[in-house]
Structure formats: C-alpha cells, structure tokens
Structure 1
C-alpha cells in the first residue's frame, strides 16, 4: 500500500508539473482579462497539494519556480532580473503547496466546494503576494527604474498589481480548482 501511495504521488507530481510547464511554454497559462493577464500556472500546485498533501504541492511548486527561472533566462523580459532570483521565483511557489494544503485542512466546514475554494484563494494569494513582496523587498529600486516610476511609487505600483491581478487570479483559480478537485475525488471514490 505504501509503495502505491508513493507511486501515485510521483505520478501526480509528474503530471501536474508537466501541466504547469506546458501552460508556461504555450502561453495558455495566462488568461487575458480586460484589466490584466491572470496567470493560472499555480493552479496545478494547488490541486496537487489538496489531493496529495503539502510535500507533493511543495515539489510541484519547486518545479514551477525552477521553470520560471529557466523561462526568464531563455526569454528575458523587463523584470527577468528579479525572477532569476530563487527567493522571488522559487520560494513563494514552494509555499503555495504548503499554504493551500493547510488552509484546505483547517477550514472546518463540510462543504467540499467551500474548502477547495478557500484553499485556491490562499494558494493564489501566496503566489501573487509572495512573488511581488519579494520583488519589493529585494529589488524596489531596480523595479522603479525598470518601470520608470519613482522609488516612492514602487510599493503602490507593486501592490496595485497584486490587488488587480491577485483578485482576477483568485477568481479564475477557484473556477478551475473546485470542479477539477471535486471530479478527481469523485473518481477516486469509485
């Protein structure tokens, strides 16, 4: 039984990590909305954490974060200097799996949809706020220079992005995560 569980966990890690990478490589991981682009690349991390636990979620998050570094090396952008730092691109992504799992476990309601939705929101906010806070803490001056804003406007700009993108991403995350996790749990019961 223990070997099957480990095999299943490795399979989930492989599948969901591959989905994150494909979402990033194809551009399907970014949903254009009227005010921003919402990323869904963190959703496989949340799904893995809910279904298989914090370690599986953290490993998928690690792979997502490492892919982010590689992606910024291969296709540099205005903010690649920040995303090449593991404290920005890896640490928050590893924490998605941990916060998503424990928020799912700590919500004391019987309704699975609500538990999953709360976990999706917490995981999404961990990603958005974690990455943007690390950019602010480590690179506020370089961010201001890259965005052609004053250093005083950096926090407002970064957390303005967090408020708009984070809200959209949380909604999209809930809309994807709830039905996927419910469907997988239903299949597992059979």
Structure 2
C-alpha cells in the first residue's frame, strides 16, 4: 500500500511540490518511506525509498537531482533510519517515537541530499544550509505530524 502511494505521489508529481529555490521543490514523497520503516521494517522502507529516489531522478528539474547518487542514495536510508529510531524508543512512548521517526527520517533525507550536493559541487555550503533551514524544517514538521497521525492509524489497523 505505501509503495503504491509513493508511486502515485511520484507519477503524478503530487509528492514533489515545485518552489523557486535552489532545491527546486519541497517533498512529501518521503512520508511513505518513513511510515514503511515504522510499520513494515527496513526491507519495505528500502524499497519505498528506492521508489522515491527513482521518481526524484526521473522528474529532475535541475542538475542536482539528475545525479542518481544524490537523487537515490539518501532516499534509501530514510525509512531505515525511521525504523531504528521508532523501534529503539517505542517502549518509552509510541507517540514520541512516531514523531522522532518522522523528524529523523526527514533529517536523513535533507542532510543526505544537501550533503552530497555540497560534496559533489552542486551547491555551496551556505546555499545548502539555507535550503536546509527553509525546506528541511517545514518538511520535518510536516513529517512529524503526519507520521504521528498516520503511524498511529496504520499501526492500529495492522494489529487487527
């Protein structure tokens, strides 16, 4: 189901929202990868992250995302990070763990993409920091809220 949602978001462009900045878009495509990691585990998360990365590569509107290393590699790690964050802390408080999984999954995506962009010469470090602040923070907040809401619903559904 989450893979299908990722495909729909990627194929329709609904998961990549264009904005006039160096990043080119704000994404919600990482949410299925985060939820996949939390609910189904690292293997499913890896597959959903691959779907996200491939769509980022195929729909690239600037050279940054036309580089498969930048478009795909960080996306493979989103759900895996979310899985480990959630499953290492869910005994403490499930809501907190879902929020943290959403935040960390987003940070892995943002830091991975922007870090590779700087290392590969696509962006100067100051521009990457500006993108991280203007895009990464709102994306992390959205991911935390949606991971909490959807994660609780999907985990309850899975128990049935």
- TM-score w.r.t. length of structure 1: 0.74
2:31 equivalent to 1:61: no
1:83 aligns with 2:69: no
Q: CA deviation at 1:128?
A: 0.8
Report if the CA contact (8 A) 1:59-1:94 is conserved: yes
Summarize deviations over 1:81-123 as a string: whole Å, max 9, x none: 2212221011100011211111112226532110011011000
Alpha-carbon distance in structure 2 between the residues aligned to 1:32 and 1:67: 14
- Are 1:17 and 1:64, in contact at CA under 8 Å, matched by a contact in 2? no
CA RMSD of aligned residues (A): 2.2
SS in 2 for 1:21: helix
Gaps spanning 5+ residues in structure 1: where?
Answer: 1-14, 144-153
Match of 1:119 in 2: 101
Unpaired runs of 5+ in structure 2?
none
1:17 aligns with 2:3: yes
Report runs of 4+ in structure 1 exceeding 4 Å deviation: 30-33
What is the aligned partner in structure 2 of residue 11 from structure 1?
Answer: none
2:156 matches 1:156? no
- Alignment-derived partner of residue 138 in structure 2: 168
* Larger CA Rg, structure 1 vs 2: 1
Map of 1:8 onto structure 2? none
Q: 1:44 matched to which residue of 2?
A: 32
- Separation of aligned partners in 2, 1:105 and 1:189: 16
Contact 2:42–2:83 (Cα < 8 Å) also in 1: yes
Query: Contact conserved, 1:42 with 1:93, CA < 8 A, in 2?
Result: yes
Counterpart Cα distance in 1 of 2:26 and 2:56: 16
